[in-house]
Amino acid sequence: MRTRGLLTLLTGCMFSGKTTELLRRVAAAGSVQVFKHAMDDRYRRDAVVTHTGELTDAEVVRGADEIAAKVHAGTRLVAIDEAHFFEIELCTVIDTLRSRGVDLIVTALDRGSWGQRFPVVDRLLESADECVQKFAVCARCGGRAEWTQRLTPIIEGRLVGGPEAYEPRCARCWHAPREAAPNEECRIANGE
């Protein structure tokens, strides 16, 4: 009998179908709890929502430590959307849940719109049992997209957005935004 939970990590650029895949896997599961970071208030605050409107209810947390405290006894699967919004402590919380026999499905951007890697995602990649790299279609040339292009200026440090602010791009069509990466993306990217 397996005693350690499995970690599945779904990564890729925006619009690559990470959340759609998460919802597909959650729908097929039994006892599941879904979590999202409070920073992600797109579409609906109390649900994980795809860019096409598919959704499932979610528990909103401000930090990784809240996840461990909210997982009920008997929960067999925990789903976490947008792991790149969390601090590096998310890795410890996930490891604790796995040691209790809980399986996890986690989505995350693998890099930000300035091209930087997210340390929390890199750490999860190292420990995941299954890594699924998702790709989108480049909004410019139609090629395989693996980069996220920021389209709009950043107002008051706000980085969260949808198709009004971002689009998928291939490496040839992507370019770093002209403005410097704001403090919040730098803080998250540096694992602070």
Would you say 86 and 58 are in contact if contact means Cβ atoms under 8 Å apart?
Answer: no
Q: Name the nearest CA neighbour of 90 among 103, 101, 80, 77.
A: 80
Burial of 156 (0-12, 13-18, 19+ CB in 10 A): exposed
* Secondary structure element (H or E) that encloses residue 187, with its range: helix 183-189
Closest CA to 33 of 66, 57, 50: 57
Q: Exposure pattern of 106-144 as b/e (b: 16+ CB <10 Å)?
A: bbbbbbbbbeeebbbbebbbeebeeebebbbbbbeeeee
Cα separation, 101 vs 103, whole angstroms:
7
Asked whether the beta carbons of 104 and 7 are under 8 A apart, the reply is yes
- Positions marked active-site: 82
What whole-number distance in Å separates Cα of residue 19 and Cα of residue 80? 10
- Residue among 57, 47, 82 at smallest CA distance from 160: 82
